[in-house]
Amino acid sequence: MPKPKSAHPAHPSNWGYSLGIGLLWLLGQMPPRLVLRLGEALGPVSYALARQRRLIIRRNLELCFPEQSKLEREALVRENFRHTTRGFMELALSWFGGRAVDRLPLQVEGLEHLEAERRAGNPVILLSGHFTSVEISGRLLRQLSEMAVIYKPMDKHPLADATMRHGRERAIGPVLSKDDLRGIVRTLRKGLPVWYAGDQNYRSQQKVFVPFFGTPAATVTGLSRLARMARARVIPIFYYKLDDGPGYRVVFHPPLRGFPSGDDTADAATMNRIIEEAVREAPGQYFWAHRRFKDQPDTTADMYPGVKDHRRDRRQRRQGSS
């Protein structure tokens, strides 16, 4: 059994993470509006340097917006790098920033949907997706409504995992592992809304292939199971940057009707459709740098040609040495 890595910042295996965390902390001490402007300015630099991410974003947009011309999609790639780089700065402000962060403008729509369910004593799952402004919007929203957050633990990188957990606990609220189903259900039954996003290509046996922007996407069925186990209502919530300044907009939608339906595949398709509709409202603000379509029903399909796949390379090396 391999020896677990240390979570101590001074351990040699963590020097890179420690440097990155130190940079996040430093950014968190700076004036928020200056940090946000810096993120916007560094977007073109990220576009030029991050070749692999650029290929992933370009391919995702090609799959999801085939009706657009190459020039239109490339403009969207550049816009997405700007939002993603700013999102990194927002993460620093969310986890490490002071009270000045909480004074950034926030517009909230539909909060009455959540308040009505809580008054009725119903457990609530907040269905969302990985938008670039999710971290700082979650912190700003805490001033109006508390919530817990489901996340994927970084078991191979304990220092990064601890930093992420502590940062989100400080900024948003309790943090729950996606594998802790009982803990999530207990939290829901205590009346605390739980934030859930199932829009990434997780390695899980509990997944189905359903369309996302018309392309099959491996989609976990955890939302249906959690809603069923906790008898929870599901309320979609999405986050957007305002076009005219440093502020943010959070939108709560009405609770889903007839969910869960008893058909996990149909429910997963419903979840993807809802997230897709939210993405179409501001496509440049979604986190396109993730290989959302990596796994396919046809296991031989290479959805991201030219993009390095370290997991596949390690598997091939093991097969070659056996």
pLDDT in tens, 184-240: 999 999 999 999 999 998 877 789 999 999 999 999 999 999 999 999 999 999 999
Residue 292: per-residue pLDDT = 97
Q: What is the structure's pLDDT at 10?
A: 72
pLDDT value of residue 203: 74
Per-residue model confidence (pLDDT) at position 1: 39
The pLDDT value recorded for residue 244 is: 80
Please state, rounded to an integer, the average pLDDT across all residues of the chain.
93
> Where do the H-state alpha helices sit in the chain?
15-28, 32-49, 51-64, 70-96, 111-119, 134-141, 158-171, 181-189, 222-230, 264-281, 310-321
Per-residue confidence (pLDDT) for residue 40, from 0 to 100: 95
Count CA atoms closer than 13 A to 224's CA, side-chain side: 20
Q: What is the pLDDT of residue 308?
A: 86
In sequence order, what are the residues at sequence separation of 6 or more whose Cβ sits closer than 8 angstroms to the Cβ of residue 290?
A: 56, 60, 130, 200, 201
Give this prediction's pTM: 0.92
Per-residue pLDDT tens digits for 264-302:
999 999 999 999 999 999 999 999 999 999 999 998 899
What is the pLDDT, as a whole number, of residue 319? 53
Residue 94 near residue 101 (C-beta atoms within 8 A)? yes
Low-confidence ranges of the chain (pLDDT < 50): 1-2
Q: What is the dihedral of CA 244, 250, 253, 256, to 10 degrees?
A: 140
pLDDT at 313: 55
CA-to-CA separations, 139 to 92, 200, 256, in angstroms, rounded = 12, 22, 25
Predicted local confidence at residue 322, as pLDDT? 53
Measured CA to CA, the distance from residue 7 to residue 154 in angstroms comes to 11
